[in-house]
Amino acid sequence: MEEYAREPCPWRIVDDCGGAFTMGAIGGGIFQAVKGFRNSPSGMNHRMRGSLTAIRTRAPQLGGSFAVWGGLFSMIDCGLVKVRGKEDPWNSITSGAMTGAILAARNGPVAMVGSAAMGGILLALIEGAGILLTRFASSQFPTGPQFAEEPAPMPASSFGDYRQYQ
Amino acid sequence: MDKESSGSSNPDSRRAGGLGLFGSSAGPQYSKTELAGVPLTGMSPLSPYLNVDPRYLIQDTDEFILPTGANKTRGRFELAFFTIGGCCITGAVSGAVNGLRMGLSETRNMAWSKPRNVQILNMVTRQGATWANTLGSLALLYSAFGVIIEKARGAEDDLNTIAAGTLTGVLYKSPGGLRGAARGGLVGLTLSGLYALYSNWHHLKGSSSTRY
């Protein structure tokens, strides 16, 4: 598989926003298709029309919410990268928590804390899964040369000899 | 004696070059007509090192080494997320500006108070969200069609762009019946045609840029 190349930080925000919108819109589209199908009067014509209407109205909204989440997350992530000067999973977890907090700001401090916890735990799960996957994928390849063996069997005479040539 | 046997041109040109560089007459004087007839074999008056064959100076476009399996340019799928995200953000910004304009004009008669601010804020967020969703879903449809058409044709050029734009317009306006779909298709055709024209302007004009 080709290596996964992410954009540098300012453009990463636009990329993540687009990716989140796509996920939300397509997932929401499928979900709303089923829901609209079921919540329509009986008769295939009605059901198809209800399904299409639900997709047209609800899927972009879900895509939009995902896009806001993704864009805000990526913005905070890039900000943390610039401030801390390194990229590691802690950035993502903190960004997830802060995004959850900001998006629940209208509902008061208690809701913010709860939303932050949810966001942080979600991102921790995602990052943990990513790390496990990387370890699993790399363990499939043969390991490099082992340096732990061979500490001693160097003949002492060769080291003694060189003093003569000083 | 060695100098003369190796060729009479070299010492002459060297001395001529020296005279030319330093100006003052430090050696035997040669008239300009004598100097003009001296062939400069592989040497320029400035430096003996400027004798590179110009054929070696041409820059090739294949100057990047690509890893296995990588294309030279980004395909539609890699550009898709950037397009969709860009359209979302553009839609959000323009929707917010539009919402600000509408909110200010609708609450013109109110004093500056909390209800007025809340109303303006609501207009801004609602318009921003609506425009972002609309533009984002248009971009999603366009990118999806572009990828499908490219995979189906197996080739990539501006025809894909125009076809994807037209199909997006048709699909987006299809709830308006056949007439709505046709109008949407026409708008899509126009916009994507303009974009294709814009991105190929230099090529179409037949620019005479030198390849260096």
Nearest-neighbour CA in chain A from B93: distance (Å): 13
Query: CB A25 to CB B137 under 8 A?
Result: yes
pLDDT over 90 (residue A163): no
Domain boundaries, chain A: 7-86, 88-139
The Cα B210–Cα B212 span in angstroms is 6
The Cα B128–Cα B88 span in angstroms is 10
Query: CB A60 to CB B70 under 8 A?
Result: no
Q: What is the pLDDT of residue B6?
A: 46
Domain boundaries, chain B: 74-154, 155-200
Q: What is the pLDDT of residue B75?
A: 75
Q: Answer whether B201 touches A (CB < 8 Å).
A: no
Residue B118, SS3? helix
pTM exceeds 0.95 for this model: no
Q: What is the pLDDT of residue A150?
A: 58
Highest mean pLDDT pick, A77-81, A151-155, B15-19, B71-75: A77-81
The Cα A82–Cα A77 span in angstroms is 9
Q: What is the pLDDT of residue A162?
A: 55
Positive or negative, the CA dihedral B53, B54, B59, B62 is: negative
Which chain B residue has the Cα nearest residue A52? Answer: B175
pLDDT band at A158 (very low <50, low <70, confident <90, very high): low
Q: What is the pLDDT of residue A3?
A: 47
In this predicted model, what pLDDT tens digit does every residue of A84-139 receive, in sequence order?
A: 998 888 999 999 999 999 999 889 999 999 999 999 999 999 999 989 998 888 88
Q: What is the pLDDT of residue B5?
A: 46
CB within 8 Å of chain A, chain B residues 140-179: 140, 175
The Cα A56–Cα A45 span in angstroms is 17
Shortest CB distance from B81 goes to which of A15, A59, A63? A15
B43, B87, B204, B76: which is closest to B143 by C-alpha?
B76
Contacts B142 to A, Cβ<8 Å: none
Which chain A residue has the Cα nearest residue B69? Answer: A2
A99, A96, A95, A68: which is closest to A80 by C-alpha?
A95
pLDDT band at A2 (very low <50, low <70, confident <90, very high): very low
In this predicted model, what pLDDT tens digit does every residue of B75-110 receive, in sequence order?
A: 777 788 999 999 999 999 999 999 999 999 988 888
Instruction: Decide which of B17 and A72 is more confident.
Output: A72
pLDDT over 90 (residue A154): no
Task: Tell me the ipTM for this assembly.
Answer: 0.74
Q: Is A12 exposed, middle or buried (0-12, 13-18, 19+ CB in 10 A)?
A: middle
Which parts of chain B register pLDDT below 50? 1-19, 210, 212
